[in-house]
């Protein structure tokens, strides 16, 4: 009788006794490892953060760089690296949208929704995996920059602050595309819309040319463009580029994007799950 009762008894809940925070952290950790494992199985997905930055840096430095004059006749190679790091962060962000819409189209998201896990965990894990990808891309940009003559003229603390600022902005920006991935219906659409969104934001900014050289309308947009603010903040911390209050503005922009788009992405995910 005891044996039969034991067989019919429900299995012990392995999450019993865990705090909600510990349960959430465990969910995020498992899903983050899953995203990293996918990258390990498909290393070609890192081409946009390993090969593309090298091509863009060499092209702008040695093909277009000679035609671009900076105020004060500064080094364009040193000016370029901050912009390339910002562009690298922007280029990786659409990968979040593509990954999410791929999971939805294959039915994996339906499986996640059926499991007892936090709605935040799926999206947070995806954004953390994207942050690791951005770290790889940032390392590639820095190494290529050093190879073409880029040098840091400030202290180690300023360098660390600039890298932290860039990763904060990149992480916040990835939530924009997390929401986008939940709005579109196919990976192809996510990739196309991501390119359309990123292209004007990066090129109508100070990433590659000084804002003062642009026509008045584009100049007005470029000056309030968050990419201009973040890129110039990194230049200020690395090479002493005059940026006024850009570091603080860059932090505020990053936090504002995160506060707005992260809840919207989770809300959309919950709404989709309820359908």
Instruction: Please spell the DSSP secondary structure of 117-156, one letter per residue.
Output: --HHHHHHHHHHHHHHHHHHHHHHHHHHHHHTT----S-H
Q: Which range is most confident: 2-16, 38-52, 131-145? A: 131-145
Residues of the chain with pLDDT > 70, as a percent, come to 90
E strand map for 166-231? none
| pLDDT tops 60 at residue 274 | no
pTM of the model: 0.82
187-192-198-199 Cα dihedral, nearest 10 degrees: 150
Q: How far apart are the first and last CA of the chain?
A: 44
Confidence of residue 90 (pLDDT cuts 50, 70, 90): confident
- The fraction of the chain above a pLDDT of 90, given in percent, is 12
More confidently predicted of 3 and 31: 31
Residue among 253, 212, 209 at smallest CA distance from 233:
253
Mean pLDDT of 39-48: 74
Which structure tokens are listed for 116? 């007892």
C-alpha angle 165-220-70 in degrees, rounded to nearest 5: 70
Only one residue has tokens 């090479």, namely 239
Contact 98, 252 (CB under 8 A): no
Instruction: For residue range 208-263, list pLDDT tens digits in order.
Output: 888 888 999 999 999 999 999 999 888 888 877 766 667 888 899 999 999 999 99
């Amino acid at each position: 009788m005891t044996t039969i009762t034991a067989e019919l008894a429900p299995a012990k809940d392995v999450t019993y006794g865990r705090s909600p925070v510990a349960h959430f952290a465990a969910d995020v950790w498992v899903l983050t490892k899953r995203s990293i494992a996918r990258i390990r199985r498909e290393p070609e997905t890192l081409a946009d953060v390993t090969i593309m930055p090298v091509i863009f840096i060499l092209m702008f430095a040695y093909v277009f760089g000679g035609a671009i004059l900076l105020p004060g006749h500064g080094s364009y190679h040193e000016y370029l690296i901050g912009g390339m790091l910002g562009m690298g962060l922007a280029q990786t962000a659409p990968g979040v949208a593509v990954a999410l819409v791929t999971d939805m189209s294959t039915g994996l998201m339906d499986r996640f929704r059926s499991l007892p896990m936090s709605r935040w965990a799926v999206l947070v894990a995806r954004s953390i995996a994207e942050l690791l990808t951005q770290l790889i891309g940032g390392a590639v940009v820095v190494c290529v920059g050093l190879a073409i003559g880029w040098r840091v003229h400030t202290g180690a603390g300023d360098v660390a602050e600039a890298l932290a600022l860039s990763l904060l902005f990149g992480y916040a920006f990835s939530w924009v595309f997390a929401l986008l991935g939940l709005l579109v219906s196919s990976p192809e659409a996510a990739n196309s819309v991501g390119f359309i969104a990123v292209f004007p934001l990066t090129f109508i900014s100070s990433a590659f040319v000084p804002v003062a050289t642009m026509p008045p309308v584009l100049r007005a947009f470029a000056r309030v463009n968050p990419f201009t603010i973040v890129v110039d903040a990194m230049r200020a911390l690395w090479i002493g580029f005059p940026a006024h209050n850009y570091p603080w503005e860059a932090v505020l922009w990053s936090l504002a994007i995160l506060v707005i788009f992260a809840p919207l992405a989770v809300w959309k995910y919950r709404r989709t799950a309820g359908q």
